Amino acid sequence: MAPAPPRPGVLVDEVRVQAHAGKGGRGAVSFRHEPYVPKGGPDGGDGGRGGSVVLTASSALSSLNGLVRRPILRAEDGKGGAGGLKHGRMGRDLRLEVPVGTVVIQEDTDEILGDLREEGAEVVVAKGGVGGHGNVHFKGPINRAPRISEPGLPGEDRALRLELRSIADIGLIGPPNAGKSSLLAAMTAARPKVGNYPFTTLDPELGVADPDGARFVLADIPGLIEGAAQGAGLGHRFLRHVERTRALLYVIDGAAADPWADLEAVRSEVKAYSADLAQRPSLVAMNKLDLPAARARRDEGSGSAIWISALSGEGVEELQEALGRLTAETPPPPPLEVAPPRHHIRGLPGPVLVERRDWGFEVRGGAVERLVQRTDFTSEEALDRFQVQLDRLGVSSALVDAGAEPGDTVRIRDLEFEYQPPR
């Protein structure tokens, strides 16, 4: 069943997809047949490489909702080779745009494969398989007319989680109904939904402030509740939008029963989520100075904060100037640590490992597993070559050392056969 589509206008900041790169094309078995070449040799061309799945960052997008109905990302397979040394066409890459700020994570390991924080940045999330060799590669002094070729290698398959993390200089954080949306509207041209009830904001809102040329971007993060760092409400989803910010602005309702306790509660949630985030430079804005309770506290002079009223505008200019200075003085956080590429490499070497199992013997190793993928087991000539290659790779001797006897079951990847000692 297809996932339910997102409601129009709703920000989708996390999706899970399966990326399937294309399989390489099969090499061809072909021979020259020109009348003026009496003993034409092999001329089978190689198969084409399979297409890859590539994600590219685009500032034209602001949500991942385009992938909600497309959980399977599949690139094109490479085409098979042909006679006359004609190589097969490469499979077309599947190239998709995602919003700037998208982080690509491998689901099973939580490794970060890509951090697309700049316009045009791209990452290959699944690499296409290599095409198989045609029979021209197997010609030798003994076998001048080989009738074998290789199938193409499969492309990579990956389960991915894509997370959108807002790109902003200042993150506005505070409890529900503290007035963050009103403040964003007062300082920028953004027009977030504003209302006098908790949880008005369900999606991050961005706005650009430009006080005296000190331009900076603010992100209004939905209100945090107790337990947000452990995922209460939508805590994890909301907090990750401030991970890229240079600094934080804690926005607190100055007319609340105990605004200083509210401030400490929010700081505790941020620290529980990320100690690094909690140490970012920050300012505190006590909002709702237009209400008597807040003004009375301001007049008491307790605590260190900038007192403002997003409704009347009092103190907002002072706050903007302070945020401009803070942005100019604070460098951006370091980029996320991206895992090194681990695509399959053609000709990958590796030791042969033989392990005894209850059912027989399992053989593992980069070279021998690649040999299995490269062999056409419907061809008798290819099977003979497969046995020779097993001997050359040391598989036969390793099986003998492990105690294999004729008739024992041997398994290499998905291939299973009975062991017969070399003649």
As a dihedral over the C-alpha atoms of residue 170, residue 176, residue 180, residue 181, rounded to 10 degrees, the angle is: 120
Give exposure, 25-63, as e/b (b: 16+ Cβ within 10 Å).
Answer: bbbbbbbeeeeeeeeeebbbbbbbbbbbbbbbbbeebbb
d(CA 225, CA 325): 30
pLDDT, averaged per 10 consecutive residues of the chain (423 residues), comes to: 48 87 94 74 92 94 86 96 92 95 92 92 93 88 83 92 87 86 82 42 70 82 52 52 87 93 89 87 95 90 85 92 92 83 49 87 86 85 83 83 88 86 66
- Reduced to 3 states (helix: H, G, I; strand: E, B; else coil), residue 371 is helix
How many residues belong to the chain?
423
Hey, what are 421's tokens?
A: 């000692």
Strand order in the sheet with 14-20: 72-74, 14-20, 157-164, 102-106, 112-116
CA 26 to chain centre: 30
- Reduced to 3 states (helix: H, G, I; strand: E, B; else coil), residue 82 is strand
Show the beta-strand stretches assigned E in 127-167. Answer: 157-164
d(CA 247, CA 242): 9
- CA pseudo-torsion sign 159, 161, 162, 168: negative
pLDDT of residue 389: 83
pLDDT of residue 196: 42
As a dihedral over the C-alpha atoms of residue 280, residue 255, residue 202, residue 191, rounded to 10 degrees, the angle is: -90
Residue with tokens 């695509």: 343
SS3 content of the chain, % helix, strand, coil (to 5): 25, 25, 55
| 3-state SS, one letter per residue, for 399-414 | HHHCCCCCCCEEEECC
pLDDT of residue 365: 85
d(CA 331, CA 232): 31
Question: Residues 267, 282: contact at Cβ < 8 Å?
Answer: no
Hey, what are 95's tokens?
A: 């190239």
Q: What values do phi and psi take at 169, rounded to 5?
A: -85, -40
Q: Are strands 360-364 and 409-412 parallel, antiparallel or unpaired?
A: parallel
Residue with tokens 């097993």: 390
The answer for residues whose C-beta is within 8 angstroms of residue 334's C-beta and 6 or more apart is none
The answer for residues whose C-beta is within 8 angstroms of residue 138's C-beta and 6 or more apart is 42, 146, 148, 149, 385
- Reduced to 3 states (helix: H, G, I; strand: E, B; else coil), residue 107 is coil
The answer for residues whose C-beta is within 8 angstroms of residue 247's C-beta and 6 or more apart is 169, 170, 171, 280, 281, 282, 283, 323, 326, 327, 330
Residue with tokens 């199992």: 357
pLDDT of residue 232: 39
Give how far Cα 259 sits from Cα of 182, 282, 305, Å.
Answer: 18, 17, 11
The answer for residues whose C-beta is within 8 angstroms of residue 351's C-beta and 6 or more apart is 365
For residue 323, the number of C-alpha atoms closer than 13 Å in the C-beta half-sphere is: 35
